[in-house]
Amino acid sequence: MAENSGIEWCHHTYNPWIGCTKISAACDNCYAEAWDRRGMQQKASRWGPHATRTRTKTRPNVRKWDRKAAELGIRYRVFCASLADIADNHRSIDPVWRRDLVSDIRAFQNLDFLLLTKRPQNVAKLYPDLMEDWPANAWMGVSTENREEMLRRGEVLATLPASITFWSAEPLVEDLGVIPREIMPSWVITGGESGAQYRPADPDWFRSIRDQCKAADVPFLFKQWEGKNQKEIKAKGRALDGVIHDGYPAGRAA
Please give the residue ranges that form the binding site for ligand SF4 (CB under 6 A): 20, 22-23, 26-27, 30, 32-33, 84-85, 118
The distance of closest approach from Cβ of residue 11 to ligand SF4 in the complex, given in angstroms and rounded to an integer, is 20
- Choose between 34 and 244: whose C-beta lies nearer to ligand SF4: 34
Whole-number Å distance between alpha carbons of 37 and 149: 27
Cβ contact 172:206 at 8 Å = yes
Compute the distance between CA of residue 9 and CA of residue 107 in angstroms, rounded to an integer.
Answer: 22
- Distance in Å, CB of 243 to ligand SF4, minimum: 27
Cis amide leading into 180 (omega within 30): no
Alpha carbon 252 to chain centroid distance?
17
Are the C-beta atoms of residues 17 and 84 closer than 8 Å to each other? Answer: yes
Nearest to 205, CA basis, from 222, 217, 184? 222
Q: Which is nearer to ligand SF4, 25 or 240 (CB)?
A: 25
From the CB of 112, what's the least distance to ligand SF4, in Å? 20
Of 30 and 240, nearer to ligand SF4 (C-beta) is 30
Residue closer to ligand SF4 (CB basis): 75 or 118: 118
Grouping H, G, I as helix, E, B as strand and the rest as coil, residue 190 is strand
Q: How many CB atoms sit inside 10 A of residue 47's CB?
A: 18
CB of 48 to ligand SF4, least distance (A): 9
7 vs 23, beta carbon nearer ligand SF4? 23
Q: H or E stretch including 163?
A: none
